[in-house]
Amino acid sequence: MSGNSPVVYFYDPEVGNFHYGPGHPMKPQRLAVTHSLVLNYGLYKKMNVYKPYRASYHDMCRFHTEEYMQFLQQVTPGNVAEFTKCLSSFNVGDDCPVFEGLYDFCSRYTGASLQGAAMLNNNQCDIAINWSGGLHHAKKFEASGFCYVNDIVIAILELLKHHPRVLYIDIDIHHGDGVQEAFYLTDRVMTVSFHKYGNYFFPGTGDMYETGLESGRYYSLNVPLKEGIDDNSYAFVFKPVITEVIKCFRPSAIVLQCGADSLASDRLGCFNLSFKGHGECVKFVKDLKLPLLVLGGGGYTLRNVARCWTYETSLLLDETISNEIPYMEYFEYFGPDFTLLSDKGSNDNPHNANSRTYLENILKYVSENLRNIEHAPSVQMHYTPPDWFDGTDTTAGHQLSESEANNEFYDTKDENKEKDVSCKKPDNNEK
Ligand SMILES: [Zn+2]
């Protein structure tokens, strides 16, 4: 392992073992499969691999209410009947079920994002990767869209201790509503979300005209897209929007949510991005050379989520990897072609409903709004709250040696591995 790699990567060997329940499209196992590919491509040698810290109750209450966190801490599949009255108020039920180890799951994915933010603050890395994070729908006092605790908001709050302005970019197919809502009134965080909008597509927010309020006016930016968007059309809006945002907002750190449900053939999505088109956005943001926290998010065709995030790990490391999937414990998931960037013909959404005129109009509107913030706000940082930890505390989540990384992770056997072969379109718009 290189001693001073600019990239840190978090992986909790337990995080892939949680189950939302039979038939639920969100499968944490995708994280174990992604990690297995990252290991077997040898990418772990090029970055510092950490078994992350687990977020405490107190950490999670930095955004969420105590009432809601207490509920998450106490509820189990066994005692859920005692909480009947709370379930609907916390929006827990079908989409966001109570499953075994729910609180523990939240604490693990949130801890990794928080530690990533703290290490960026301390200049211990240039890029921090947590594919288990990116749960952008969770609200202050309720669960939403398979998300319970909003690790993104908690990580951004940590970054704000050192950074006057943080940019959040979201390329999940769903609107990044939880993050937008959390920072809707402030000019210190600019949220930029590219997503499918219209026809009641979940969560229903993210119209171009949602731009923020009070001090936050013009600091929420939405790019509502229609079904079937392809690589060229996506890049046509993504690149100029981000370029202009950087110029006007001048962030000193970026958080990038890389939801993989914007890929073609996603079980719940309806966009038509290839791995290269999705990865192009990641590369574009990386090339801005600002401290960067990279997170996962949605993604419901398991093998493609693993392909996407492995490929993007290689892009973040500037490493070229073979298109042939290395032999590993989930090898059979990648048949029949066993390639990384498989050129699937199974295109569910061949029609790109985004006309050039439609996209040009969005660009024009965004550009007009950004003109209002042409000068980056000067943030008076009178008081910097104490760091959550300085990243050198070994109890806070430890770095794995090469052999440790290898052994620990090669040994994990998931007896319940469930192959996600379903690519059928849902009959309703889930997340
Ligand atoms: Zn999504």
Residue 355 has pLDDT above 70, yes or no: yes
* CA dist 348 → 62, 100, 264, 351, 425 (Å): 41, 34, 7, 9, 8
Over residues 103-115, the mean pLDDT reads 98
Sorted by sequence, the CB contacts under 8 Å of residue 321 that are 6+ apart come out as: 41, 43, 310, 311, 314, 340
Catalytic hit among 35, 64, 136, 137: 137
Range with the poorest average pLDDT among 58-62, 290-294, 363-367, 420-424: 420-424
Over residues 36-46, the mean pLDDT reads 98
Separation of CA 151 and ligand 1 centre (Å) = 15
What pLDDT is recorded for position 58?
Answer: 98
CB environment 387-414: b (16+ within 10 A), e (fewer): ebbebeeeebbeebeeeebeeebeeeee
Full 3-state SS string of 217-274: CCCEEEEEECCCCCHHHHHHHHHHHHHHHHHHHCCCEEEEECCHHHECCCCCCCCCEC
Residue 380 has pLDDT above 80, yes or no: no
Sorted by sequence, the CB contacts under 8 Å of residue 105 that are 6+ apart come out as: 15, 18, 28, 99, 148
DSSP character string of 374-431:
-S--------PPPPS--S--GGG-EEPPHHHHHHHHHH---TT-------PPPSS---
Structure tokens at 288: 């801005």
Separation of CA 219 and ligand 1 centre (Å) = 22
Structure tokens at 46: 């090029």
Separation of CA 172 and ligand 1 centre (Å) = 5
What pLDDT is recorded for position 272?
Answer: 97
Reported as a pLDDT band with limits 50, 70 and 90, residue 386 is confident
State the residue for tokens 């298109």.
323
pLDDT in tens, 139-151: 999 999 999 999 9
From CA 45, how far away is CA 1, in angstroms rounded? 5
User: 7-376 is classed in which CATH architecture?
Assistant: 3-Layer(aba) Sandwich (3.40)
Q: In the chain, what is the greatest distance between 2 CA atoms, to the nearest angstrom?
A: 59
State the residue for tokens 């040698």.
45
Q: CA angle, corner 150, sides to 79 and 175, nearest 5?
A: 115
From CA 379, how far away is CA 164, in angstroms rounded? 6
Separation of CA 170 and ligand 1 centre (Å) = 10
Tell me the binding residues for substrate.
95, 145, 300
Residue 377 has pLDDT above 70, yes or no: no
What mean pLDDT value characterizes the chain?
90
Q: What is residue 336's three-state secondary structure?
A: coil
What pLDDT is recorded for position 39?
Answer: 98
Residue 66 has pLDDT above 50, yes or no: yes
Separation of CA 389 and ligand 1 centre (Å) = 31
Structure tokens at 204: 């229903």
Beta strand 292-295 with 127-130 is parallel
What pLDDT is recorded for position 347?
Answer: 54
327, 40 Cβ separation under 8 angstroms: yes
Burial status of residue 58 (CB atoms within 10 A of its CB: 0-12, 13-18, 19 or more):
exposed
Separation of CA 152 and ligand 1 centre (Å) = 14
193, 164 Cβ separation under 8 angstroms: no
* CA dist 360 → 205, 225, 354, 356 (Å): 21, 12, 10, 6
Task: Tell me the sheet residues that pair with 147.
Answer: 144
Over residues 234-255, the mean pLDDT reads 98
311, 279 Cβ separation under 8 angstroms: yes
Separation of CA 27 and ligand 1 centre (Å) = 13
From CA 71, how far away is CA 68, in angstroms rounded? 5
Over residues 355-361, the mean pLDDT reads 98
What pLDDT is recorded for position 202?
Answer: 98
Structure tokens at 79: 């005692």
From CA 155, how far away is CA 198, in angstroms rounded? 30
From CA 163, how far away is CA 376, in angstroms rounded? 13
Residue 379 has pLDDT above 90, yes or no: no
Over residues 366-376, the mean pLDDT reads 86
What pLDDT is recorded for position 61?
Answer: 98
Tell me the binding residues.
95, 145, 172, 174, 261, 300
CB environment 1-11: b (16+ within 10 A), e (fewer): beeebbbbbbb
Note if 375 is an active site residue: no
What pLDDT is recorded for position 407?
Answer: 43
Structure tokens at 312: 């993007």
Separation of CA 31 and ligand 1 centre (Å) = 16
By residue count, the chain amounts to 431
Range with the poorest average pLDDT among 54-58, 162-166, 425-429: 425-429
Separation of CA 196 and ligand 1 centre (Å) = 10
Q: What is residue 173's three-state secondary structure?
A: coil
- Please give the model's pTM, rounded to 2 decimal places: 0.90
What pLDDT is recorded for position 420?
Answer: 31
From CA 264, how far away is CA 82, in angstroms rounded? 42
Tell me the binding residues for a divalent metal cation.
172, 174, 261
Task: Please report the sign of the dihedral spanned by the C-alpha atoms of residue 307, residue 308, residue 311, residue 314.
Answer: negative
156, 291 Cβ separation under 8 angstroms: no
Residue 130 has pLDDT above 70, yes or no: yes
Over residues 84-104, the mean pLDDT reads 96
Neighbours of ion ligand 1 (CB under 5 A): 172, 174, 259, 261, 298, 431
